[in-house]
Amino acid sequence: MKIIYLDNAATTPTSPEVVKAMAPFWSEKYGNPGSLHAKGFEARAALDKAREIAGNRLNCAASEIIFTGSGTESANLALFGFCRKNRQKGNHIITQRTEHHAVLDSCAALEKEGYSVTYLDVDKHGLVCKEQLERAIRKETILITIMYANNEIGTVQDIRGLAETARKHNVVFHTDACQAGGSLDIDVKNLGVDLMTLNGSKIYGPKGTGLLYVRSGIKIQPVIYGGGQENGLRSGTENVAGVVGFATALELAQKEREKESKRLAALRDYLISKVLKEISRTYLNGHPTQRLPNNASFTILDVEGESMILRLSEKGICASTGSACTSRSLEPSHVLQAIGLPKEVAHGSLRFSLGKGTTKADIDYTVKELKRIVEELRKISPIKINESVMKGR
Amino acid sequence: MEKSNCGWAYSDIVKEHFLNPRNFVRDEREVAGADGTGMMGSPACGDVMKMWIWVKDGKIIDCKWMTFGCASAIASTSMLSEMAKGLKIEDALRITPKQIAEKLGGLPAIKIHCSVLGDQALRAAVKDYEARKNGKAK
């Protein structure tokens, strides 16, 4: 059966160019970049080059990039590393409710260490309000952390504006840009951010790779201690193959960004309009225009998400849901609740995230199968949600 | 949504009953003459199960259902309807959630509540049947 992979927000396949770039670093150029001999120098050169490439793509100095093992690790390093180091300046952090758990759970852990956290509400599209952010800033505020683009509903925040507000009040600004690396502007000077998290596995790079941009002059402390790699901020022998692959992926993604984003946005809009038109009682989650070019997230009334994705999977279609039934907690996703969806409809969410390989034919097939599946599941569903709960959406 | 870790962590029997459910109601008109009906769960919690029974001489001669919920919720009600059909009422009431889960070849721990809900819906249908019967007797 042909697989139609529409879960690129979960992870992307590693592109052949990336695999090729990584190939020499397993058994041939295997040295430890810390070693003072030919094999070490060879590895060090590759690591330096990768850092240079990443720096160019982010428009920052190579020395401002710390390679890590994942986006989650980068976000942890940004939050714990910065807050612990700057405790004497204040203990207040501002974030918002639809962040990834890498940020939210780090915030919760920091609260236990004595920090105080403000969680900003978002509007029905998932956007943070700049004025509300400004009002939340206190004299003890040391860090604002707001994601660039949401992984579930695709809403893109006005990071420039939010970072500007932070700067105005002398507060350091971190953004989790994991979903943005493939399709949005990641120029840190343009964005005006102080800390930025990215990872490789969402941009056709290898899994187990991430980076944290730390603007020169911003002081953080490590979370992982040991051999002092990555400027003493992330110990552990460098993942040379991974870093090379990540840098290659970043370069490819940013080179193709404009063209590919345009193509994806057109396909996304086609998918959205087709679902909303052909399947009754469906709604778009997230912002109608200010959204990732590859994200289409829906609420489908009277059916449950896990049932939909498992039936889609039987037809070769890979999608994702924010339904409780796929989580550990039996609670529907915090993001869908934050945008105000009542629980009874949040269970019926469905996310398609398009990718390099997605075609119009894939979308046609997906909508055809989805329509049939939703009709079947609605037939055996004893509930009919009153559409008034979706008023204004 | 990052947590789409369900996959086919389910048994082949669950999968079979989820993809090809037995005894479900396609059209509410089918259940017009049912002797008892029960509904359990809530849309906010993500599962709602409704069961209808037809009873003759103290035996459940037919059992149909509708379910809003995940794969294991649908499979649990489908399996339960098969188990209950043909049983004397007192025997049907002896079915436990554990037996439903076992018949399904096991359920992931987090999904056990699905079999509990199905069981409760059947009990509610029996209670409704008995209430109607007693009502008539008066």
Check CB contact of B114 with chain A, cutoff 8 Å.
Answer: no
- Tell if the CB–CB gap between B67 and A382 is shorter than 8 Å: yes
Cα–Cα distance for residue pair A389/B102, rounded to 1 Å:
38
Residues of B in contact with A323 (CB under 8 A): 46, 70
The predicted model gives A38-52 an average pLDDT of 98
Residues of A in contact with B113 (CB under 8 A): 330
How close is the nearest chain A Cα to the Cα of B137, in Å? Answer: 30
- Give the count of Cβ contacts less than 8 A between chain A and B: 101
The yes/no answer to whether this complex scores an ipTM above 0.85 is yes
When pLDDT is cut at 50, 70 and 90, the band that residue A325 belongs to is: low
Cα–Cα distance for residue pair A379/B119, rounded to 1 Å:
22
Residue of B nearest to A11 (CA): B2
Residue A233 zone, left/alpha/beta (φ > 0; ψ -120 to 50; rest): alpha
- Active-site annotation holder among A83, A129, A318, A325: A325
CATH 3.40.50.300 is the classification of domain A16-253: no
Per residue in A270-287, pLDDT tens? 999 999 999 999 999 999
Residues on chain A bordering chain B, Cβ-to-Cβ distance under 8 angstroms:
7, 9-10, 100-101, 151-152, 302-307, 309-311, 314, 320-328, 330, 332-333, 335, 342-344, 347, 349, 351, 379-383, 385
Residue of A nearest to B19 (CA): A311
How close is the nearest chain A Cα to the Cα of B106, in Å? Answer: 17
Q: Which two tokens stand for residue B61?
A: 């001669």
Mean pLDDT for chain A?
A: 96
Per-residue model confidence (pLDDT) at position B138: 56
Q: Which two tokens stand for residue B73?
A: 């919720």
| Superfamily for domain range A4-9+257-379 | Aspartate Aminotransferase, domain 1 (3.90.1150.10)
The predicted model gives A228-238 an average pLDDT of 98
CB A308 within 8 A of CB A373: yes
Task: Pick A320's closest partner by Cβ from B4, B42, B50.
Answer: B4
Least confident of A64-78, A117-131, A333-347: A333-347
Q: Is residue B114 annotated as part of the catalytic site, yes or no?
A: yes
Residues of A in contact with B2 (CB under 8 A): 10, 100-101, 151-152
Per residue in A108-150, pLDDT tens? 999 999 999 999 999 999 999 999 999 999 999 999 999 999 9
Residues A22-38: b if buried by 16+ CB within 10 A, e if exposed: beebeeebebebeeeee
Helix (H) / strand (E) element for A276: namely helix A240-278
Residues of A in contact with B20 (CB under 8 A): none
Give the domain B33-132 fold: Sufe protein. Chain: A (3.90.1010)
* Residue A389 vs residues A74, A93, A136, A357, B41: alpha-carbon distances, Å: 38, 34, 30, 36, 19
CB A291 within 8 A of CB A365: no
pLDDT over 80 at B2, yes or no: no
- Tell if the CB–CB gap between B46 and A326 is shorter than 8 Å: no
Q: Is residue A60 annotated as part of the catalytic site, yes or no?
A: no
| Nearest alpha carbon to residue A40 among A29, A50, A49 | A29
- Tell if the CB–CB gap between B4 and A349 is shorter than 8 Å: no
- The residues near B42 (Cβ < 8 Å, ≥ 6 apart) are A344, B48
Residues of B in contact with A306 (CB under 8 A): 6, 70-71
Amino acid present at A135: R
Per residue in A149-190, pLDDT tens? 999 999 999 999 999 999 999 999 999 999 999 999 999 999
Residue of B nearest to A313 (CA): B7
Residues of A in contact with B109 (CB under 8 A): none
Mutate to test the interface with B, among A327, A343, A380 (most CBs of B within 10 A): A380
How do beta strands A141-145 and A92-96 pair? Answer: parallel
When pLDDT is cut at 50, 70 and 90, the band that residue A326 belongs to is: low
Residues of B in contact with A101 (CB under 8 A): 2
Per-residue model confidence (pLDDT) at position B3: 35
Phi and psi of B84, rounded to 5°?
A: -80, -30
The predicted model gives A18-46 an average pLDDT of 98
Taken as a whole, chain A contains a residue count of: 393
Q: Where are the domains of chain B?
A: 33-132
Per residue in B83-123, pLDDT tens? 999 999 999 999 999 999 999 999 988 888 888 899 999 99
- Tell if the CB–CB gap between A7 and B4 is shorter than 8 Å: yes
Amino acid present at A134: E
Residue of A nearest to B72 (CA): A307
Cα–Cα distance for residue pair A177/A198, rounded to 1 Å:
5
Could you tell me where the beta strands, DSSP code E, fall in chain A?
4-5, 65-68, 92-96, 116-120, 141-145, 172-176, 195-199, 210-214, 282-285, 295-300, 317-318, 349-353
- Tell if the CB–CB gap between B6 and A325 is shorter than 8 Å: yes
